[in-house]
A and B are shown apart, each in its own frame.
Chain A
Amino acid sequence: MTIWMIIRNSLRHHALSTGITAVSIGLGCGLLMSVWVVNFQTQRAFKNVTGGFDSILGPRGSQLQLVLNSLFHMDSSPGLVKAFDYRLFREKYKRFYNRAVPIAVGDNLKGYRIVGTTLELFEVEHSPGQKYELAAGEKFIQNATQWNKEAVIGHTVAVQLGLGINDTFQPYHGLNFTEGQMPHKDIYTVTGILKPSGTPADRVIWIPIEGLQQMDGHDPRFAGDVSAVLIQMSDNTTARAFGMNSLDSIYNKGTDHLTFVKSNEDVVARLFDQFAWAESVLRWVAYLVAVVAAAGVLASIYNTMNERRREFAILRALGARRSTIFSVIVMESATIAALGVLIGFGVYAIILLVAEGTLRNEIGVSLHPMEPHKVMLIVPVVMVAFGALVGIIPAAKAYGTDVSKNLTPQS
């Protein structure tokens, strides 16, 4: 109780320097935790954004571009898979996969992508145990003989564009929206709104693939082409590997106009590997901020040592042991670090909420700011321990205070 009384008093007496030091520790601590957690959760979220598909077949080009365009609905489309190739894939190579869902892109509504597909897409589990579910309305009509100009829209699209069931819209050509651009003549009706899925699908307007292929203004010569084919391989490990390797040989080695992405997850992992340096730089910046903050604790306490020599001498004259004075300074230093850690959690929450909002709005990927991670225990413990450690230097100075010399007031 005595030690805490002395610490509380000192922190109150040096409130400004304590506050500034705690804030700087909070920044370092918050940055460290954020960099770690954002990196971990982003990687996990991106790797999980497979939409339930293992592989992709698309036009010859970059595998990364194919993944970004087909699964994340970002980047430009690398081209088209000719109707002939698509038919061949569906008929001749069916034995190598379980399911193949075509997608066609090329239009947007106020920047939100319109993706043509088949109803089969909604039967796939986009995440383990989770399918795209309707929050309202129903799916578009599409069967062997008929398809309607209807759309199922993602949750973000509905919220951002204020679209509801039975609302209509005219698609705009291209993947990006330009103000003043004339829309296609086709009029689509919203028949369904999806529940939030925490995936890029939340930012997509799904229509029957025929609708996109035959959209007014699109070249009818390419009406049977698709942008990519999303592929679900067999659940059986051997069959899966066999299918992947076979399609890899057929398309990547045997043709010059198609690309087969063997593993979507591997492509995303390679993407993160390419940016590992940036994450490393951020992490080192955070380390540096934390070290500077800890040095700030040292400087802040050390600078008060001269003015506090008399206080220590009086406490010693009252019977306080040297070890008590030493403990007071070490614990005071650790307390400032602990206050900083509390601020750090606030900084962390702000960064995570901003990152979560940005990723959700821009890409559709969800982070979980409140999800516990071991770094949220390790960083605070290390920071407080580090605070206590740097406190040893001023504590040693306080330990050596000469009682008789410092009992007299110094002018």
Chain B
Amino acid sequence: MSLLKIRQLIKSYKAPGGVRHTVLEVPEFSLEAGQQLALRGASGTGKTTFLNCIAGILRPDAGDIELAGQNIAIASESQRDELRAQHIGYIFQTFNLLQGYTCLENVLLGMSFSGPANTQQATALLNRVGLADRMDYRPGELSVGQQQRVAVARALANRPNLVLADEPTGNLDPQNAQEALQLIREVCRENTAALLLVSHDQGVLDQFEDCHDLAEINKAAKEVAK
């Protein structure tokens, strides 16, 4: 049974002038538990919108997004918050770490909305990503590569079934990007979490056995390409 199943997904935005502009039109998409899939897409092809709809951050205009047996598309705001807290880990291109908090606190916050925050578990995750000696550092005191690792640890903190990664290496140099990608894939595997990664970086996409063009899935992206 698929972990994530999407049918007839449509998402549009109101463009200046009042005309609605469709950015997502996905007739069908699915992801198996533990699967690691990369989606290739240029800028403006709806990569982030697609992930945000799956995460329940955006509500689609139409269609179904089934995650762990629940339809996010029709769920209430609080149900979507709950689903996100329980089942999804999100790695952002800009990391989105909370600047006023230490690395440990950032990871604790990642797990605290799905249940009681476990300091031991958060410490173990930071150890796993190689930041055992940076627990009390704030993001601003870390290198970009280290910040990315904190973001990975935080995404895994709630033991999600699905990790969404939006251009996770977009801000890293090639060396760090390679290491970060390897880490994300390993940690997801160890935690039996499925990984859905979107990127336009061919170097990243080449690492995945399972890689598709977003345009193959998103009809609206094809229109953009034309």
Among residues of B, the one whose C-beta sits closest to the C-beta of A310 is: B96
Let me know if B94 and A409 touch, CB within 8 A.
yes
> How far is B139's CA from A311's CA once the two chains are assembled, in angstroms?
14
User: A1-B117, A9-B105 in contact; A319/B92 too (CB < 8 A)?
Assistant: no
Segment of B108-116, B179-187, B195-203, B204-212 engaged in the interface with chain A: B108-116
Instruction: Pick from B57, B82, B154: contact of A403, CB below 8 A.
Output: B57
User: A319-B82, A319-B85, A321-B81 in contact; A5/B109 too (CB < 8 A)?
Assistant: yes
Hey, what's the 0/1 contact readout for B70-93 against A, CB within 8 Å counting as 1? 000000011001101110101010
Let me know if A315 and B109 touch, CB within 8 A.
yes
> How far is B112's CA from A409's CA once the two chains are assembled, in angstroms?
23
Could you say which residues of chain A place their CB within 8 Å of the CB of B96?
Answer: 310, 314, 317, 407
Query: Is B217 in contact with chain A by the CB < 8 A criterion?
Result: no
> How far is B117's CA from A40's CA once the two chains are assembled, in angstroms?
50
Could you say which residues of chain B place their CB within 8 Å of the CB of A318?
Answer: 84-85, 90, 109-110, 113, 154, 158
Could you say which residues of chain B place their CB within 8 Å of the CB of A257?
Answer: none
Query: Is A382 in contact with chain B by the CB < 8 A criterion?
Result: no
Instruction: Pick from B101, B117, B158: contact of A319, CB below 8 A.
Output: B158
Query: Is A320 in contact with chain B by the CB < 8 A criterion?
Result: yes
Shortest distance from the beta carbon of A252 to any chain B beta carbon, whole Å: 75
Query: Is B192 in contact with chain A by the CB < 8 A criterion?
Result: no
Among residues of B, the one whose C-beta sits closest to the C-beta of A10 is: B100
> How far is B67's CA from A11's CA once the two chains are assembled, in angstroms?
37
Query: Is B58 in contact with chain A by the CB < 8 A criterion?
Result: yes
Instruction: Pick from B81, B97, B117: contact of A2, CB below 8 A.
Output: B117
Could you say which residues of chain A place their CB within 8 Å of the CB of B81?
Answer: 316, 319-322
Could you say which residues of chain A place their CB within 8 Å of the CB of B124?
Answer: none
Let me know if B98 and A317 touch, CB within 8 A.
no
Let me know if B105 and A5 touch, CB within 8 A.
yes
- Number of B residues contacting the other chain (C-beta, 8 Å)? 31
Shortest distance from the beta carbon of B169 to any chain A beta carbon, whole Å: 17
Let me know if A2 and B113 touch, CB within 8 A.
yes
Tell me which residues from 374 to 396 in chain A have a Cβ below 8 Å from any Cβ of chain B: none
Instruction: Pick from A13, A317, A408: contact of B100, CB below 8 A.
Output: A13
Could you say which residues of chain A place their CB within 8 Å of the CB of B109?
Answer: 2, 5-6, 315, 318
User: A5-B105, A12-B100, A311-B98 in contact; A319/B57 too (CB < 8 A)?
Assistant: no
Query: Is B52 in contact with chain A by the CB < 8 A criterion?
Result: yes
Let me know if B158 and A404 touch, CB within 8 A.
no
Does more than half of chain A's interface fall in helix, strand or loop, or is it mixed?
helix
> How far is B154's CA from A321's CA once the two chains are assembled, in angstroms?
18
Could you say which residues of chain B place their CB within 8 Å of the CB of A403?
Answer: 57
Query: Is A323 in contact with chain B by the CB < 8 A criterion?
Result: yes
Let me know if A2 and B100 touch, CB within 8 A.
no
Could you say which residues of chain A place their CB within 8 Å of the CB of B58?
Answer: 404
Shortest distance from the beta carbon of B158 to any chain A beta carbon, whole Å: 7
> How far is B83's CA from A320's CA once the two chains are assembled, in angstroms?
11
> How far is B81's CA from A324's CA once the two chains are assembled, in angstroms?
11
> How far is B108's CA from A403's CA once the two chains are assembled, in angstroms?
20
Query: Is B188 in contact with chain A by the CB < 8 A criterion?
Result: no
Shortest distance from the beta carbon of A295 to any chain B beta carbon, whole Å: 26
Hey, what's the 0/1 contact readout for A321-332 against B, CB within 8 Å counting as 1? 111100000000
Query: Is B55 in contact with chain A by the CB < 8 A criterion?
Result: yes
Instruction: Pick from A6, A317, A320: contact of B90, CB below 8 A.
Output: A317
User: A1-B117, A5-B105 in contact; A317/B84 too (CB < 8 A)?
Assistant: yes
Instruction: Pick from A322, A324, A407, A409: contact of B77, CB below 8 A.
Output: A322
Residues on B close to A: CB < 8 A?
A: 52, 55, 57-58, 77-78, 81-82, 84-86, 88, 90, 92, 94, 96-98, 100-101, 105, 108-110, 112-114, 116-117, 154, 158
Q: 20 extra interchain contacts, Cβ-Cβ under 8 A, other than A9-B98, A9-B105, A319-B158? A: A1-B116, A2-B109, A5-B101, A9-B101, A12-B100, A311-B100, A314-B98, A316-B57, A316-B81, A317-B57, A318-B84, A318-B90, A319-B86, A321-B113, A322-B77, A324-B113, A404-B57, A407-B57, A408-B94, A409-B94
Top 8 closest A-B pairs, CB basis?
A: A319-B85, A319-B113, A2-B112, A321-B81, A319-B84, A13-B100, A314-B96, A9-B100
13 contacting pairs across A/B (C-beta < 8 A): A1-B116, A1-B117, A2-B108, A2-B109, A5-B109, A10-B100, A315-B98, A317-B90, A317-B96, A319-B84, A321-B81, A323-B78, A407-B92
